[in-house]
Amino acid sequence: MGKMIDGVWHAGKVTEDSADGSFKRQDSGFRDWITADGSPGPDGQSARPAAPGRYHLYVSYACPWAHRALILRALKGLEDAIAVSVVDPVMLDDGWTFATDRGGTGDPLHGSDFLWQLYARARPGYSGKVTVPVLWDRDTDTIVNNESAEIIRILNTAFDHLGGAPGDYYPADHRAEIDAINADVYDTVNNGVYKAGFATTQQAYEDAVRPLFATLDRLERRLASRDWLVGDAMTEADIRLFTTLVRFDAVYHGHFKCNVRRIQDYPALESLLERMLADHRIAATVHLDHIKTHYYASHRDLNPCGIVPVGPDLPWAHLLPSPRA
């Protein structure tokens, strides 16, 4: 995966953060906010005012963290207000690149070849991981935020006065419950699949995969009598779970050895997945070609030949737009 040290890119393996056998995800390095009028963020963060056309989103269609941001952008109808650039699905020694031969868009703002060049532009001397999503400020020519959990909350409300579509995916009266579910799902499911897949010892793998399926079992029971994880409408808790569920049977089950059960084996979780895919705005953000190509062709220390499997057959594939660009 690689990282930057003092502004210089260094190539590396996907398991490089697993020195003791267990995978450790690094914190995001850019944490400013966008608010309607530029007033401080919810925890006092430095903020900039919302404005159509000022901000640009860099994403990978393959990445579940970037996928969250794409879903909120679509649900809030912000496609015209916030343009998107897509990296190439294959991430090798140069990290995320702006190659265009497999569905990437290139970088129309700066003509960059690699995503790390944007990080160097935003913060000379930067040290850390180079990740998506990246929310870029065109006016100040820098990164506003690269933490997906915060970007989706920015998109949820900051642009409402500029024509953002109705819908509050982090409603005040359910925030405590949403936060509790998010914390559990993040640790054992969203990040749990990576902790299993990138583990380099048997014990670290089992320490990740068992809590993963224990949480999926709990979520299945929770959803057996309700449509949504919290309240009676979709919230960010559902969205954050969805981006893992939609990748699970196609990638995590085999590639990351999360093979105790499939999502297809959980009727309530499968129903949630299909319920969300029935929303054409969400379905349009799912690019299975990028997803499968990224994981299988990029993680050469896990899959040395880079072969991308043809299957599996997915019961919800008919809900995706076809043909895909």
What is the CATH number for 179? 1.20.1050.10
Verify that 211 and 157 share a domain, yes or no.
Answer: no
3-class DSSP assignment, residue 121: helix
Eight-state DSSP code of residue 232: T
Per 3-state DSSP, the chain is made up of helix, strand and coil in percentages (nearest 5) of 40, 10, 50
* pTM for this predicted structure: 0.95
Asked if residue 78 belongs to a domain, the reply is yes
| Position 19 confidence tier, pLDDT thresholds 50, 70, 90 | low
Verify that 19 and 149 share a domain, yes or no.
Answer: yes
| Position 71 confidence tier, pLDDT thresholds 50, 70, 90 | very high
Res 213 pLDDT > 60: yes
Res 119 pLDDT > 60: yes
Verify that 243 and 187 share a domain, yes or no.
Answer: yes
Verify that 280 and 197 share a domain, yes or no.
Answer: yes
Domain stop point among 162, 190, 225: 162
Asked if residue 225 belongs to a domain, the reply is yes
Verify that 81 and 122 share a domain, yes or no.
Answer: yes
Asked if residue 314 belongs to a domain, the reply is no
| Position 322 confidence tier, pLDDT thresholds 50, 70, 90 | confident
Tell how far CA 303 is from the center of its chain: 22
Asked if residue 73 belongs to a domain, the reply is yes
Catalytic residue among 63, 252, 258, 296: 63
Lowest mean pLDDT among 7-21, 238-252, 275-289: 7-21
Output the pLDDT for position 325: 47
Asked if residue 12 belongs to a domain, the reply is yes
Asked if residue 317 belongs to a domain, the reply is no
63 noted as active-site residue: yes
- How many domains does the structure of the chain reveal? 2
Output the pLDDT for position 144: 98
Catalytic residue among 58, 169, 170, 194: 194
297: phi then psi, degrees, rounded to nearest 5:
-90, -20
Asked if residue 289 belongs to a domain, the reply is no
CA distance 108 to 248: 32
Verify that 214 and 157 share a domain, yes or no.
Answer: no
305 noted as active-site residue: no
Asked if residue 304 belongs to a domain, the reply is no
Mean pLDDT for the stretch of residues 202-224: 98
Output the pLDDT for position 29: 86
Mean pLDDT for the stretch of residues 157-180: 98
CA distance 230 to 309: 35
Mean pLDDT for the stretch of residues 103-107: 98
CA-based Rg of the chain, rounded to a whole angstrom?
19
Verify that 140 and 179 share a domain, yes or no.
Answer: no
CA distance 189 to 209: 9
Verify that 185 and 238 share a domain, yes or no.
Answer: yes
Domain stop point among 162, 188, 209: 162
CA distance 88 to 67: 14
CA distance 17 to 23: 6
Verify that 223 and 268 share a domain, yes or no.
Answer: yes
Verify that 100 and 229 share a domain, yes or no.
Answer: no
Q: Between residues 190 and 17, which one has the greater pLDDT?
A: 190
3-class DSSP assignment, residue 306: coil
What are the CA-CA distances from residue 270 to residues 12, 213, 223, 224, 227 (Å)? 36, 15, 10, 11, 11
CA distance 72 to 55: 15
CA distance 276 to 238: 9
Verify that 181 and 43 share a domain, yes or no.
Answer: no
Provide the domain limits for residue 136: 3-162
What are the CA-CA distances from residue 217 to residues 204, 245, 295, 313 (Å)? 21, 13, 25, 23
First to last CA, the chain: 27
Verify that 129 and 209 share a domain, yes or no.
Answer: no
| Position 13 confidence tier, pLDDT thresholds 50, 70, 90 | confident
Does residue 42 have a cis bond before it (omega within 30 degrees)? no
45: phi then psi, degrees, rounded to nearest 5:
-65, 150
> What does the pLDDT look like over 85-95, one tens digit per residue?
999 999 999 99
Mean pLDDT for the stretch of residues 202-214: 98
Q: pLDDT averaged over the chain?
A: 95
CATH code: domain of residue 85: 3.40.30.10
Q: What would the two tokens of residue 43 be?
A: 């925890």
What share of the chain in percent tops pLDDT 70? 95
Mark residue 141 as left, alpha or beta (left: phi above 0; alpha: psi -120 to 50; beta: remaining).
Answer: left
